[in-house]
């Protein structure tokens, strides 16, 4: 079995690290680079940058933030928000990103997934799905950081994304996002049941047991964490220890 | 050795920012360059790379950099190939038909097995953090690029093909994926290659880059 990845998620607005609840009421947390560095030294397996408003306003400061982060962070970085073209992807990869996460532009024009996969490889493209529950076992895809209905069923879209060449799925529960009430296990299970590519569970992480649950009960390949880390409720080291304790395979990490 | 001059060969492929920063972080003075003179004058040379083998070799050849690499290896400059840069050190690759490599380490580049050692389907590319282990017949990493690294230390991989040196002695570190042993670090005289990305492998990766600079 492969290592379960512990990913620090940094949502960005302009030049700031922000955090909201259900993607709303966004509050400034601080300087993203400082937090990125902190999580790198805590042993994050990857970093995930999402520009929360990029798809709304078009241009983004993300490339510069990524470039600055690459100065002293030496783990893989996935970057998303406002990516519309293969050229946008190229620019972010040149800035030090290893993968890109695409949501809105892929919903509007699914071929973008194939174009990116063909040019840079499937390992480079993460399909970002923002899901909101509509009824029992039914989740709808949202775009523009939880603001717009995408008109697609989540598991259908996940399956389609794989066909188009996505290498990974970032699955964010809008209902759980920022609540610290635990990951949406049934949503995650619904997607891990229909795709073979890795699924990153995101939204709702409140304590280390939530990580254990989403891996054991919903088969997540990776977890993204934001609130708990930003507000120092837990360190990545504590989460890693709890996962290890629960017999979940995680990367061996010790400080040199 | 601080202020070691390192040339990172730029042949128009891939993201070189992280490689540059990783080396700088270890105290090197780095130039990302395609100038033969600059490459030949450097204390150390890094051959990076992502993408397809044939494209990489083509990129080197059109600018005459393949000859430059041979020249610097001949005069004893330590060379480190990373990912595709490591694969290009070999004689040839099976990726998209047979393509000729630099021939600095005898052997070929073959696909990562699509089955586990028990015959079950295995996901390729091999992506993510994986632990370094001793290949068969190796029991220590002293006096090599891996000096100071411990079996079980994890580094970051992204690849669909892998190097297979003819001489097992040229293979100094492996990783295990789906029960199969894949070459992670290979070496012959002043030529070394890493299949993983040291510049994306946290402090362990920086330690390896540091060792390369101080060798």
Nearest to B206 among A74, A76, A95 (CB): A74
Per-residue pLDDT at A256? 47
Q: Which domains does chain B have, with CATH numbers?
A: 5-96+105-214 (3.40.50.880)
CB A103 within 8 A of CB A80: yes
Q: What does R_g of chain B's alpha carbons equal in angstroms?
A: 16
pLDDT digits (tens, 9 = 90+) for B154-194: 999 999 999 999 999 999 999 999 999 999 999 999 999 99
Per-residue pLDDT at A57? 59
Please state, in angstroms and rounded to a whole number, the distance separating the CA atoms of residues A27 and B213.
Answer: 44
Mutation pick from B13, B15, B82, B157 vs chain A, by most beta carbons of A within 10 Å, is B15
Q: In this predicted complex, what is the ipTM? A: 0.91
Q: What residues in A contact B199, CB-CB < 8 Å?
A: 74
Q: What residues in B contact A74, CB-CB < 8 Å?
A: 18, 21-22, 25, 199-203, 205-206
Q: What is the mean pLDDT of residues B105-129?
A: 93
Mutation pick from B50, B129, B180 vs chain A, by most beta carbons of A within 10 Å, is B129
Q: What residues in A contact B25, CB-CB < 8 Å?
A: 72, 74
- The residue in chain A having the minimum alpha-carbon distance to the alpha carbon of residue B148 is A256
Residue B1 has pLDDT above 60, yes or no: no
pLDDT digits (tens, 9 = 90+) for B76-85: 999 999 999 9
pLDDT in tens, chain A (256 residues): 689 999 999 999 988 999 888 888 889 999 999 999 999 999 999 999 999 887 555 556 888 999 999 999 999 999 999 899 999 999 999 899 999 999 999 999 999 999 999 888 888 999 999 999 999 999 999 998 888 999 999 999 999 999 999 999 999 999 999 999 999 999 999 999 999 999 999 999 999 999 999 999 999 999 999 999 999 999 999 999 999 999 999 998 875 4
Q: How many CB atoms lie within 10 A of CB A34?
A: 11
- Measuring CA to CA, which residue among B139, B215, B213 is closest to residue B172? B139
CB A241 within 8 A of CB A25: no
Q: What residues in B contact A99, CB-CB < 8 Å?
A: none
Look at A252 and B156 and tell me if their CB atoms are within 8 Å: no
Length of chain B in residues, anyone? 215
């Amino acid at each position: 079995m492969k290592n379960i990845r512990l990913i620090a998620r940094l949502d960005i607005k302009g030049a700031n690290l922000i955090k909201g609840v259900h993607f709303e009421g966004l509050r400034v947390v601080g300087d993203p680079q400082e937090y990125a560095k902190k999580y790198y030294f805590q042993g994050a397996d990857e970093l995930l940058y999402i520009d929360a408003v990029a798809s709304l306003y078009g241009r983004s400061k993300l490339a510069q933030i990524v470039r600055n982060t690459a100065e002293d962070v030496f783990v893989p970085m996935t970057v998303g928000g406002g990516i519309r073209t293969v050229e946008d992807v190229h620019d972010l990869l040149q800035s030090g990103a290893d993968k890109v996460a695409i949501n809105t532009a892929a919903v509007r024009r699914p071929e973008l997934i194939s174009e990116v996969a063909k040019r840079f490889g499937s390992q480079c493209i993460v399909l970002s799905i923002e899901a909101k529950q509509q009824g029992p076992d039914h989740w709808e895809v949202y775009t523009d950081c939880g603001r717009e209905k995408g008109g697609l069923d989540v598991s259908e879209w996940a399956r389609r994304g794989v066909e188009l060449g996505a290498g990974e799925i970032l699955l964010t529960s809008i209902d759980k996002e920022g609540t610290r009430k635990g990951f949406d296990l049934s949503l995650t299970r619904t997607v891990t049941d229909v795709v073979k590519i890795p699924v990153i569970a995101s939204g709702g992480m409140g304590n280390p047991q939530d990580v254990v649950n989403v891996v054991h009960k919903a088969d997540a390949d990776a977890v993204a964490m934001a609130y708990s880390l930003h507000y120092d409720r837990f360190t990545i080291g504590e989460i890693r220890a709890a996962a290890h304790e629960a017999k979940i395979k995680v990367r061996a990490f010790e400080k040199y | 050795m601080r202020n070691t001059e390192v040339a990172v060969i730029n042949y128009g492929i891939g993201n070189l920012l992280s490689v540059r920063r990783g080396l700088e972080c270890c105290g090197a003075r780095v130039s990302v360059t395609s100038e033969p003179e600059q490459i030949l004058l450097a204390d150390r040379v890094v051959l990076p790379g992502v993408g397809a083998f044939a494209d990489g070799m083509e990129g080197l050849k059109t600018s005459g950099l393949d000859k430059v690499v041979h020249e610097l290896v001949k005069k004893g400059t330590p060379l480190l190939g990373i990912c595709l840069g490591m694969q290009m050190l070999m004689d040839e690759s099976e990726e998209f038909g047979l393509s000729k490599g630099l021939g600095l380490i005898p052997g070929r580049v073959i696909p990562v097995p699509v089955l586990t050692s028990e015959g079950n389907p295995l996901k390729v590319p091999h992506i993510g953090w994986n632990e370094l282990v001793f290949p068969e017949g190796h029991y220590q990493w002293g006096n090599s690029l891996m000096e100071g690294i411990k079996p079980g230390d994890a580094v970051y991989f992204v690849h669909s093909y892998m190097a297979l040196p003819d001489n097992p002695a040229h293979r100094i570190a492996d990783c295990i994926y789906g029960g199969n042993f894949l070459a992670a670090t290979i070496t012959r005289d002043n030529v070394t290659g890493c299949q993983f990305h040291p510049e994306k492998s946290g402090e362990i990766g920086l330690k390896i880059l540091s060792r390369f600079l101080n060798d």
